[in-house]
Structure 1
Amino acid sequence: MEGVIRKQLLYRTGVEYGDYALNHVLGCAHGCKYPCYAFLMNRRFRNISYDDWIKPKLVDNTIELLEKELPKLRGKAKYINMCFATDPFMYNQPEVIKLSCDVIALINSFGIPVRTLTKGVYTLVVAKVSNHPENSFGVTLVSLSEEFRRKYEPNAAPVSERIKSLFAMHKCGIRTWVSIEPYPTPDIIAQDIDELLESVSFVDRIVFGRWNYGKLNYPDPDRFYREMAFKVLEFGKKEGIEVVIKKEVRISG
């Protein structure tokens, strides 16, 4: 796998549920067709094509940078997000996964927890490297349909594998969460959100957000997302799960 060199890795994120973050890989092999925000920004500011984007490049000096930057965040960072502009556990990308495990171990050695999110899978190796009680491992899950996954997340892990691996992390006593974003409107796919929620009833946290890619053709999407948000909130209340509704989902009005 090709590599790139960077001058800085850690940054303070403006994401509403974020703190500090890092992106130790450029690009993402999953090739999501939403398209993803990270790809749009890189296409706009770095002139990266889709074909280049789906050929990820490791940041070769990741560990060197972290060894310099992490001491400054000891006792300051609540946690570090992995990642907002790439995927730390890309499906069938062992080099990315190995580097991500090394990163988690290093961050945890400074007493700082990590919060990861993937459309890949977690393995026993990931569970063993996790060494902070506040670490939290999540998957993106917006549909249980494999047909939808093949169309919009062509190279990501099958849905059943994501859920299975997340449940395995839960059984290891590790905190887990799910990102239900971007949740599609019924004209994109007709589905039952209750069924999706039940499939991840073991998680500690749910983040819910709307489909933000282009103009929606579905009539009154604000009402639809308000109804879905209330279902997620009620489910969280019933199951004792923390729920975060993204601010673009208007739950009043």
Structure 2
Amino acid sequence: MLKIERKTLLYKTGVEYGDYTINHVLGCSHGCMYPCYAFLMNKKFGKVKDYKDWITPKIVSNAVDLLEKEIPKLRYKIKHVNMCFSTDPFMYRQEEVSKLSLQIIDILNSNGIPVEVLTKGVYPVELVGISKNDDNYFGISLVSYSEKFRERFEPGAAPVEKRLKSLEFLHRQGFKTWVSIEPYPTPNIIQQDIRELLSKISFVEKIVFGRWNYNSFVNFNFDSKEYYRRIADEVMNFGLKKNIKVIIKREVLL
């Protein structure tokens, strides 16, 4: 795998449910076609040239050294570390990325810092022996139960069932789990029932819900505000019924 070096690693995020974050890889082989906000921003600021460059991930070779230098300065400011907002820490079929992510989780937990992880990949079973903090959260991104949707919009990501099974495995091991339902597609993109998707994730502790943004796939010939508020109500009611914490992203309610 290609490698790069960085000058800093840990930084405060502006994401509403985030705290500090870490991005120890540049790019993502999942190649999501929403398009991916992380890809758009990295292209805008010249960090990647194009889509092909983006889906050829580059690992941060000095990530561990940077982490060990930065933790003593930030330890008492950090509530948790999000992994990750600009890449995927358990990128599907990228063993080198997963290995580094496990090492980073081990270092953070050993310093009393919990992690909140999100992936479209598959969690390795080795995580069971490495995760040492009761406040760790492990999540998957899941906006549709359809494999046809996944093949079109998340071509390099893990199949939906594999994602779910790896998350259910962690749940059975006693880990806290969550799901990000973002970006949730409009009906012209795919006809689906949010209740079917919710029924598959009734075991989790937390759900984050957000709308589809950024491109012309969205059908603006209908009341998208009313649509997303209705879906958000379904998610909120499901959370109340199942005693699951629900976070509705701000743009859904605007």
Q: Compute the TM-score of the two structures, normalised by the length of structure 2.
A: 0.97
Counterpart position of 1:33: 33
> 1:84-123: CA deviations, max 9, x gaps?
0000000000000000000000011110000000000112
* CA–CA distance in structure 2, aligned partners of residues 27 and 141 of structure 1: 20
Counterpart position of 2:233: 230
Shift of 1:250: 1.5
Segment drifting more, 201-210 vs 70-79: 70-79
Letter of the 2:205 counterpart: D
2:164 corresponds to 1:157: no
Shift of 1:127: 2.1
> 1:199-221: CA deviations, max 9, x gaps?
00000000000001224314000
Letter of the 1:165 counterpart: S
Counterpart position of 1:172: 173
* CA–CA distance in structure 1, aligned partners of residues 191 and 128 of structure 2: 35
* CA–CA distance in structure 2, aligned partners of residues 199 and 39 of structure 1: 29
Letter of the 1:200 counterpart: I
Counterpart position of 1:181: 182
Shift of 1:69: 0.3
Shift of 1:76: 2.0
Shift of 1:224: 0.3
* CA–CA distance in structure 2, aligned partners of residues 32 and 147 of structure 1: 14
2:102 corresponds to 1:101: yes
Letter of the 1:204 counterpart: E
Shift of 1:45: 0.8
2:146 corresponds to 1:127: no
Residue among 226, 241, 246 paired with 2:244:
241
Provide the identity percentage: 59
Counterpart position of 1:3: 3
* CA–CA distance in structure 2, aligned partners of residues 239 and 141 of structure 1: 18
2:81 corresponds to 1:88: no
Letter of the 2:225 counterpart: D
Shift of 1:75: 2.6
Segment drifting more, 231-240 vs 66-75: 66-75
* CA–CA distance in structure 1, aligned partners of residues 27 and 124 of structure 2: 22
Q: Compute the TM-score of the two structures, normalised by the length of structure 1.
A: 0.97
Q: Secondary structure at the match of 1:181?
A: strand
Letter of the 1:41 counterpart: M
Cα RMSD for the two superposed structures: 0.9
2:219 corresponds to 1:217: yes
* CA–CA distance in structure 2, aligned partners of residues 202 and 77 of structure 1: 28
* CA–CA distance in structure 2, aligned partners of residues 61 and 123 of structure 1: 23
Letter of the 1:83 counterpart: C
Shift of 1:124: 1.2
Q: Secondary structure at the match of 2:53?
A: helix
Shift of 1:74: 1.9
Q: Secondary structure at the match of 1:165?
A: helix
Q: Secondary structure at the match of 1:248?
A: helix
Q: Secondary structure at the match of 1:196?
A: helix
> 1:23-63: CA deviations, max 9, x gaps?
00000000001110010011111152110110101000000
Letter of the 2:60 counterpart: V
Counterpart position of 2:60: 59
Unaligned 5+ runs, structure 2: none
Unaligned 5+ runs, structure 1: none
Q: Secondary structure at the match of 2:28?
A: coil
Counterpart position of 1:77: 78
Asked whether the 8 Å contact 2:114–2:135 carries over to 1, the reply is: yes
| Superposed counterparts of 1:10-21, under 5 Å | 10-21=10-21
- Number of residues of Structure 1 aligned to a counterpart in Structure 2: 251
Asked whether the 8 Å contact 2:35–2:215 carries over to 1, the reply is: no
Where has structure 1 moved over 4 Å in runs of 4 or more?
none
